[in-house]
Structure 1
Amino acid sequence: MHSSDTFNLPYENVGRTEFAIAPGNPDILYATVINDGGGLINVYRSDDRGVHWRIIAPGGSQNLNFFSPDNNTSQGQGLYDNVIAVFPEDPDRILLGGIDMWEGRKIYETGYFEWAQKSSGLIPPQIFPSFIHSNHHIYTFRPGVSNQIFIGHDGGISEGSINSQYSEFITRNKTYNTSQFATVGYGGELKRVIGGAHGAGTQYVNGHGNPASAQNGTQIWADFTNPSGGNGGDCFVSIIDPLVFIYTQTPGENFRRSEDEGENFSNTFLSSGIQVPTDAYITPCLYWENFENEYSRDSVDFTTHVELASGAEVMVSSGNRGYPFEYILPAVLDSGETIRVKDIISTKYFLGTENAIWMTFDVLDFGGVPEWFVITNKAKSGFDGQAQSMGMSSDANYLFVGTMEGELFRIANIKNAYDYDRADINSPYCIIATTYIPLINPVTLAQNTQVVTSVYVDPQDPAHVIVTLGNYGNDNYVFSTSNGLDAEPVFTSIQGDLPKMPVYSSIIEMSNSNTAIVGTDMGMYISENIDAATPNWALLAQDIGKVPVFQLRQQLVAKEPTVIKYWDGVDTLVETYPGTQNFGVIYAATYGRGMHYTRNFEKPVSIFAPGTEVHASAVKVFPNPVSNTATIEYTLDKKTEVILSVFDINGKMILSEKMTRSAGTHHYQLDCGSLPRGTYVTSIHKGKTVETGKFIVVH
């Protein structure tokens, strides 16, 4: 069906070809031929079953630009979206789909067809009845009704009728989910999320109201100058102020902050010196919030209107959205007196670009352009390449960055860098250090060249880091190190029996350093022995299916709500500042099945969570005191799902494990050999009941 003469199909530099056979006349064939850059070469027709072909739509025409969102007709999306179909009762009439739907009709026996655009993904369906979501993949005519058709596209399924002068379509996506998400962001609520979607911008799911519609997304940012609607990038929801959304579109310098759930947005975000490249699919960003930052150098003033004794507990409003925190007065404070207090509620926002990483503390300050610091770059510290992925330690002191070129860097001492002098690499007093970390291919023993798709730092141990790699045709895609803070960290493959395919995302479960979950090209996999010489991996979340999982994130912040009571001169008013209801919950952005979460790793926010019935000393721990292994004994009346947790005396969670146990007495062996000396509390959560026990570790 191809040769070098002008009557046949091309075969050089061809990236994809789609064929259609006329149902009413099998002698007639059609073909759309796409070059290796995604642009149209030509659309062809054959009247003799493929022996000879003629061009019916030429490539390179801006008037017939089926596959490119701009005027670059030599490249486009034809490798991704390319479909052609023939009307059942008219072999001289076809539909061609790329970004949108076009109809072609034969007018003359020779020459080009007459072409007309039949749909648009630019104008919302509330305004334009010929709206079909962009990027079309399949057309199917309804049997017996030649002008009714079903369309499969990036937005799901549409049904429509096509007439000579008028076409009308309606989306048919009831309970059908094909959303292609690259990122997911969440605050402190379980089901309230935002996500960056391919071709659908940034979507907001509030998770409230009618269960039938609570999972539906609302588009809070779309690029209607782009036929694809724009691709959503990294996005975040603040816990400090849940109305604040931080979200991006890709590619390029498309960043927004909103303080009203995306209804409006600030016109200020990036400073003029930040150059964001346009060739990165997702510009990597990370956001960190902390309610007890002991390294904070920010401060706020507290003024009292009554005399307060030394040691009095007062609530101070943070400079970050006024969130209150507790402070114990070090001395007597007279009425009208003001004291300056360390502001322990902090944020950090990191932005990865080409040859540079940027940081700001001011992302929640909507009063102007945030102050940005370049914490590493090529000229000053040797950071070289396009940032592709980033992972940070739980205290945001260490930032690991993987590049598109396959290299890995560590940025350290961030927690002590609180102003320009200490944080900006251009300052002679900068204290931030950047280290290049070689990633060696265990087969070739050469420096890795696969793209570093994700980096994840163990929340319990900043020296324990895993990285994942992309690209096809390789043997190793997941690596780990236990000495990530050393001068020369050593990464080894933990591929084990994981199928050999690109891995896009990863996490180390926050309470079990031997458990990792990765998002691959074909679904999610879990290993519970990543410390083994050959880890075992098992397919996870089979209901999601074998679709790409581009981002995995776990809620690491445990925060109880803060309740403030105050007198306004008439009544006592109560104001509640929200905490987190999703501690330990894992979220996934899938490319084809929307956004998902699992509560299988959920933890209690504190020992005494609101609404629980507490039974102190109901859990036995022996021996007590203990130096090596403690036995935790508890009894269940019936088969129950329980959460066993261990906290230190300051309330910091040491361990949490969810399990289902039958009725009877159970024993849990706790390794105390690595625990510091001190007093600990263990709790058993059973629904709305919690039982506790106390023990002492001695060495």
Structure 2
Amino acid sequence: MSKKLRTVLIMAIVSISVLLLMLNQPSKTEKLRMQYAELIAKSPYSKTKILKKAELKKIPKQDRPDLAFQQDFLQTLDPNTGRPEPLRLLKILNADKNKGQVFKTNSTLNWESRGPLQVGGRTRALMFDPNDVTAKKVWAGGASGGIWVNNDITDSLSVWQQSNESMANFSISTITSDPVNTQNFYVGTGEGYFNIDAVYGAGIWKSADGGATWNNLASTIDFEFIYDMVVRNEAGVGVVYAIVRDLQDNVNGTEVLRSINGGATFTLASHEPFRDLELGPDNTLWAGDAIGGVWKSTDGTTWTKVYQAGAGSAAGGHTIATPRRVELAVAPSNANNVFVLIADDSALGEIIVTLDGGATWIDAGEPSDAGDSTVPNTDFTRGQAWYDLIAAVHPTRDLELFVGGVNAFKLNAGLEFKKISTWHNQVDATVSFAHADHHAFAFRPGHNDEAIMGTDGGVFYIPNVATVETVTNGIKMRNRGYVVTQFYSAAIDPVNTNGFLAGAQDNGTLYFSGPGIDDTTEFRGGDGGFCFIDQTFKDATDGLYYIVATTGNEYRLHDFSTTPGTFFIPLIDTGNGAFINPADYDDENNSLYSYESNTTSNTTITKIILAADGANQGTQSAGTATREDIVMAEFGAAISHIRVSPYNVANRTVFLGTGNSQVAKMAADKTITMITPPTLVGSVSCIEVGASDDELLVTASNYGVVSVFYTNDGGATWTEKEGDLPDMPVRWALFNPLNRNEVLLATEVGVWKTLNISASTPAWEKANTGMGNVRVDMLQYRALDNTIVAATHGRGLFTSTNFTLDVKENVLVKNTNIKIFPTVSNGLITVASRVNAQNAKFTAYDLSGKQVFSKSLNLVNGGEQPINLNVKRGIYLISIKTDTFSSSYKIIIK
């Protein structure tokens, strides 16, 4: 072989090898998908235990704020950065204000708030308005519901009003005012108590007009977590101090930043890991850190540590193995008296007090919650000192301390704690009720014995703190119109036009029955998960069932068909599943599907089959439902979404999405077919079924990924439908059932809409008029009256009835040889014909596109045929097809 030929062969072999190597390399999408799967698999949050029923009984309520944050972290993290990126939302929030309408807003879809009227939600920030001469006006910050104001907190009928809806999807952590210019308010965002799984914020927002308008301070745009803020009068200048999560994300690190120009710029005041900041009556700054230390400063830049908790500290001899968060309370009437609460890991470690400005310390004892068997006597925070820990000293009685954990207590001058509130009167009926988990406490200026508290259940007012421990009605709820409830899910009642069911973080599963913003009924307490209402109900013989979920894979059935009132039938009672567990209900087959578990070898979902409609569903201790575990080996990942097809009732298809970028469909015989979009990366948040099982929308809830995919061939091919949608989590999708080119998305910034999903690059626009920029978790539709319900995570429920879902006459194809009358009836209609047509097909569809009635007709020229449509009231489409023509009509059943 010649040398030249050998060289050519070697080059050819090398070229082929390189080509094969390149062909075998994973694509960019495959690399990102593998990177994301590895992030999920390695995350400790993927392995967090869901407590079983016996364990949950040991705590006051099935409330796991840590699990809520952890689950959302995994579902929204950007696979490229390994963390959520909520600061990208500011582009959306500021676009219209600063640059004109960058993101178009659709004004035809208006939303109406449905409350709940008096449930409230987690509140970390409270402030009496310094400009109100009556000292009745209060400002409050919801955990993800924005800023609210109440003009008279002393009046039980005074209604809260939202101040700035553009902040609705950010957590309000602190609020304060400028003592030099009281028109200047500052609000800090982001709950920084949970490391990387916290509720993210977007810096500091300022109002220069007493709360009328708010603006995000540009210098703080990357402040994701703000623990606390104070404004101090320094020689006639209101100097702002803010404790900000360390911008390098150190575990315990924070920066205390200082601004002398109203927040235009900030400089470093301290790099100690502070968590709480208080201002004494002598203008001394006090700080508590994240590792058991107490600090003070007179100039704001030089800080001195005056106490450090540890093993057998000098104050009370307490052994604190792992000193953590420190909460402070300075006596407004005595600058020398400072109380300190120190956490030992997650529990309360000690409460100490100094009477000489920090020179010496003494043990102040601890509250003993002997009246509540669910709270340890030695830890009134019940292991949640990282979460619910607050303290305040009476304005004039300098040794009267008020502390809040699960419940609230008062320390009198004799250093004796008295309980003042209980999370449930059935647990302790000796004191007044206030929702569990306390985060804020403020006294009414000029009225020293009046105070307000911020809890996980909203705002409470104490008319007289002097005697509050001696009465059982000494604390008043003040949540009227304070709609900051965080819902995960919603279901629509097929009978009651004002009926909705919704599962909320820390506020149970609530049933809505009245018009507008109204009171609700709690079906079940704790954390509310997915919920369902059987949509096949027509009368009392059919079965009206409400299914509600709490944390994990635990469900309760409420049967209203044969038994008056409410009773429970336990369907599943395990600690498996996710925190807010994906599930779906097959109304026609009375079957509930829910995620059960995932191991290294298989993934399991559970199917619960209820008795037939109208049949006896059993009792609380002995239900008649049967259970089937469906074990699949195809995933190796947690299920993130389940959707039951509305078609083919005898052979249902169930669609499944996973937390690591997979989509599948399960046939009636349990056969699994993978139909994953080729470029999908992220957690599948929704699989919306269109006109048939072949038409699907798939959404992902992560930052930094393509969020919307469409197929009309059952998943054989997919197209990306991101278009000009901003980079934000998408949590749900909804087709317009009468015009499936129209699609709504539930996103981190309200509802978005496109009029043409079939376009290669759909144009998306805001459709959140009346709702604001709040996170929306779920959308549901009722064909009866064209109602859409939106479950928001921070602003309660919203409904819309003016979405363009009415049947347009130009989409109906009418043949003059066929007539249907009357078009409005109780279900008895007549088909009149001017032609002969054998084997004509009469079909009725509801406005969701679902077939509800079918009948064969033999049409005779000049003849009439009566038909009794035994369906629920509402609008229906009628189709009549023959061998030679088809005709369609709109009728109303009243």
Q: TM-score range by the shorter chain?
A: 0.5 to 0.7
Report the equivalent of 2:423.
121
Return the alpha-carbon distance in structure 1 between the equivalents of residues 712 and 362 of structure 2. Answer: 64
Change in 2 beyond 3 A, CA 1:103/1:506:
farther
What displacement does 1:410 show? Answer: 1.9
Report the equivalent of 1:481.
710
Report the equivalent of 1:586.
788
Return the alpha-carbon distance in structure 1 between the equivalents of residues 719 and 386 of structure 2. Answer: 36
SS where residue 462 of structure 1 aligns? coil
* TM-score normalised over the length of structure 1: 0.60
Return the alpha-carbon distance in structure 1 between the equivalents of residues 557 and 543 of structure 2. Answer: 16
SS where residue 651 of structure 1 aligns? strand
Report the equivalent of 2:486.
180
Partner residue of 1:512 out of 739, 751, 757 = 739
What displacement does 1:478 show? Answer: 1.9
The answer on 1:679 being equivalent to 2:894 is: no
The answer on 1:24 being equivalent to 2:333 is: yes
Report the equivalent of 1:537.
764
- Write the deviation string for residues 212-238 of structure 1: whole angstroms up to 9, x where unpaired: 8x821112323xxxxxx4535423244
User: Where do residues 337-352 of structure 1 align in structure 2 (5 Å cutoff)?
Assistant: 346-352=589-595
User: 2:381·2:406 contact (CA, 8 Å) conserved in 1?
Assistant: no
User: Where do residues 616-631 of structure 1 align in structure 2 (5 Å cutoff)?
Assistant: none
Partner residue of 1:412 out of 652, 657, 666 = 666
What displacement does 1:353 show? Answer: 1.5
Return the alpha-carbon distance in structure 2 between the equivalents of residues 106 and 38 of structure 1. Answer: 28
Report the equivalent of 1:203.
510
User: Where do residues 307-456 of structure 1 align in structure 2 (5 Å cutoff)?
Assistant: 346-354=589-597, 355-363=603-611, 364=613, 365=615, 366-367=617-618, 368-374=623-629, 376-378=630-632, 381-395=633-647, 397-403=652-658, 405-414=659-668, 431-438=669-676, 448=681, 450-452=682-684, 454-456=685-687
- Write the deviation string for residues 473-518 of structure 1: whole angstroms up to 9, x where unpaired: x3126221315724x65463x4444443433333233233333323
* Farther off after superposition, 595-604 or 139-148: 595-604
Partner residue of 2:845 out of 644, 649, 652 = 652
What displacement does 1:70 show? Answer: 12
What residue ranges of structure 2 are gaps of 5+ in the alignment? 1-271, 274-288, 294-305, 311-320, 598-602, 809-819, 833-840, 850-882
The answer on 1:285 being equivalent to 2:539 is: no
The answer on 1:141 being equivalent to 2:443 is: yes
User: 1:457·1:463 contact (CA, 8 Å) conserved in 2?
Assistant: no
Partner amino acid, structure 1, of 2:453: I
What displacement does 1:63 show? Answer: 8.1
Report the equivalent of 1:671.
none
Report the equivalent of 1:235.
532
The answer on 1:608 being equivalent to 2:823 is: yes
SS where residue 741 of structure 2 aligns? coil
SS where residue 219 of structure 1 aligns? strand
SS where residue 455 of structure 1 aligns? strand
Return the alpha-carbon distance in structure 2 between the equivalents of residues 655 and 279 of structure 1. Answer: 30
- Write the deviation string for residues 19-45 of structure 1: whole angstroms up to 9, x where unpaired: 55443345655565668x865566666
User: 2:737·2:847 contact (CA, 8 Å) conserved in 1?
Assistant: no
What residue ranges of structure 1 are gaps of 5+ in the alignment? 108-112, 223-228, 291-345, 415-430, 443-447, 557-580, 618-647, 657-675, 689-699
User: 2:372·2:427 contact (CA, 8 Å) conserved in 1?
Assistant: no
- Write the deviation string for residues 423-472 of structure 1: whole angstroms up to 9, x where unpaired: xxxxxxxx221134546667xxxxx4x443x213233143333334445x
What displacement does 1:120 show? Answer: 1.2
Return the alpha-carbon distance in structure 2 between the equivalents of residues 384 and 603 of structure 1. Answer: 44
Report the equivalent of 1:162.
465
User: 1:16·1:79 contact (CA, 8 Å) conserved in 2?
Assistant: yes
- Write the deviation string for residues 543-582 of structure 1: whole angstroms up to 9, x where unpaired: 23333322221225xxxxxxxxxxxxxxxxxxxxxxxx33
SS where residue 175 of structure 1 aligns? coil
Report the equivalent of 1:100.
407
The answer on 1:215 being equivalent to 2:518 is: yes
User: 1:451·1:470 contact (CA, 8 Å) conserved in 2?
Assistant: yes
- Write the deviation string for residues 367-406 of structure 1: whole angstroms up to 9, x where unpaired: 55223333x423xx42433333222332163322223x42
Q: Which has the higher contact order (CA 8 A, sep 6+)?
A: 2
User: 2:556·2:571 contact (CA, 8 Å) conserved in 1?
Assistant: yes
User: Where do residues 218-297 of structure 1 align in structure 2 (5 Å cutoff)?
Assistant: 218-222=521-525, 229-240=526-537, 241=542, 243-259=544-560, 263-267=565-569, 269-270=571-572, 276-278=574-576, 280-290=578-588
User: 1:45·1:53 contact (CA, 8 Å) conserved in 2?
Assistant: yes
Return the alpha-carbon distance in structure 2 between the equivalents of residues 281 and 154 of structure 1. Answer: 18
* TM-score normalised over the length of structure 2: 0.48
Partner amino acid, structure 2, of 1:251: G
What displacement does 1:585 show? Answer: 1.8
What displacement does 1:130 show? Answer: 0.6
- Write the deviation string for residues 194-252 of structure 1: whole angstroms up to 9, x where unpaired: 22223232222223xxx68x821112323xxxxxx453542324442464322222234
Return the alpha-carbon distance in structure 1 between the equivalents of residues 323 and 674 of structure 2. Answer: 40
Report the equivalent of 2:755.
528
Partner amino acid, structure 2, of 1:285: A
User: 1:479·1:495 contact (CA, 8 Å) conserved in 2?
Assistant: yes
- Write the deviation string for residues 597-632 of structure 1: whole angstroms up to 9, x where unpaired: 2112354799934489x9x99xxxxxxxxxxxxxxx
Report the equivalent of 2:780.
553
- Write the deviation string for residues 114-170 of structure 1: whole angstroms up to 9, x where unpaired: 544321112269966510122333322222222221223333332123235425112
What displacement does 1:53 show? Answer: 8.3
Partner amino acid, structure 2, of 1:162: V
Partner amino acid, structure 2, of 1:587: V
Change in 2 beyond 3 A, CA 1:120/1:502:
farther
Partner amino acid, structure 2, of 1:358: T
CA RMSD of aligned residues (A): 4.8
Change in 2 beyond 3 A, CA 1:191/1:74:
closer
Partner amino acid, structure 2, of 1:595: L
SS where residue 269 of structure 1 aligns? strand
User: 1:134·1:199 contact (CA, 8 Å) conserved in 2?
Assistant: no
Return the alpha-carbon distance in structure 2 between the equivalents of residues 5 and 125 of structure 1. Answer: 33
Partner amino acid, structure 2, of 1:589: A
User: 2:336·2:357 contact (CA, 8 Å) conserved in 1?
Assistant: yes
User: 1:65·1:73 contact (CA, 8 Å) conserved in 2?
Assistant: no
Change in 2 beyond 3 A, CA 1:136/1:58:
closer
How many equivalent pairs are there? 508
**Where is the strand percentage greater, Structure 1 or Structure 2?**
1
- Write the deviation string for residues 35-81 of structure 1: whole angstroms up to 9, x where unpaired: 8x86556666677878998886789x998999989999998545554
Return the alpha-carbon distance in structure 2 between the equivalents of residues 126 and 216 of structure 1. Answer: 25
User: 1:220·1:262 contact (CA, 8 Å) conserved in 2?
Assistant: no
Change in 2 beyond 3 A, CA 1:135/1:373:
same
User: 2:662·2:676 contact (CA, 8 Å) conserved in 1?
Assistant: yes
SS where residue 844 of structure 2 aligns? coil
